[in-house]
Structure 1
């Protein structure tokens, strides 16, 4: 018997918490109805009222991950220009234990997304939105004279995201080589190079 509407809403937070616990412990590779049910001490049959398929469970987990990423604590944002870009890039990197755990979960989701057209489209959309949030700050930087007038804010946003996520992966696999101070210095070096951008 499916849960009553009130019970369903009451349990939704418990389900989401269990999904997050499994993600934090095992990543997407360990995310199954059985593992979430075990985390909640319930049957897989009960969970199937929420997630009738494995794909539904994965989609919920990705939504939950995106929500938690959006709600994470962030640095105070300067109002405009490259200082704002710097704050945004540092907020992406695995500089704290929580940021590291969240990035590990994101990276573990990529294999699933590459194998599923719908999930891949969702991930591409996330990147589009991320670039769109960074681009206006490059536009401001150009207006403020921090960048040459020939600089292309859209391309710079794409480059910044590619650089930062590449650094995320390296820092996750080799944290001793890429501690917090090294990651921060690399962001500063990247932005120093951006200041010298010229149209070719």
Structure 2
């Protein structure tokens, strides 16, 4: 009787291996050979699922975004939604640290790789749209808050601040009144 193979599980295992390579050695280190060696599988198995290195790297990025979306469901309360959007990238655990390292490596890669830029851009746009909706259409505030949160996340990642300090800074941003443009009459 033929063995039943879970193809989705195999793709997930390959993505996990790619994340581990990116987290330790960067995206440039992702090759069929390194994936096979680190994953303990043959290069043929990898090529069975992905025709090119770029296809693997892009699949792993989409899988990372899907995993982050699944781990951070949208809360019912708008204030909780905004806090989740601003804090989800701040690494509190080793698994979150790995995810953040991989995400920021993809952000850097997006600067020169149009396919990666399109995937990253779509994810960032989705978060911005959700933040804007949560803030009753205030896209400028959504962008400012998300940009500040990105800064707290990478500062946490490199050890400049702790996750707790990042969370406190984000809470302070959320508690601050939104700056409104001054209206003058002429």
TM-score, scaled relative to structure 2 = 0.81
For residue 121 of structure 1, what is the aligned residue in structure 2?
118
For residue 185 of structure 1, what is the aligned residue in structure 2?
168
Moved over 6 A (4+): none
TM-score, scaled relative to structure 1 = 0.76
> What is the CA RMSD across the aligned residues, in angstroms?
2.7
Q: How does 1:1-200 map to 2 (within 5 A)?
A: 7=5, 9=7, 11-72=10-71, 77=75, 79-80=77-78, 82-139=79-136, 153-173=138-158, 175=159, 177-193=160-176, 195-200=177-182
User: For residues 86-145 of structure 1, what are the alpha-carbon distances to aligned partners after superposition, in whole Å with 9 as ceiling and x for unaligned?
Assistant: 233122322332222211110111232211112212211111101111122211xxxxxx
For residues 18 and 172 of structure 2, what CA distance do their matches in structure 1 show? 38
Structure 1 unaligned segments of length 5 or more: list them.
140-151
User: For residues 4-52 of structure 1, what are the alpha-carbon distances to aligned partners after superposition, in whole Å with 9 as ceiling and x for unaligned?
Assistant: 9x64726434434433443444442432211111123233233222222
* Structure 1 residue matching 2:41: 3-state secondary structure: coil
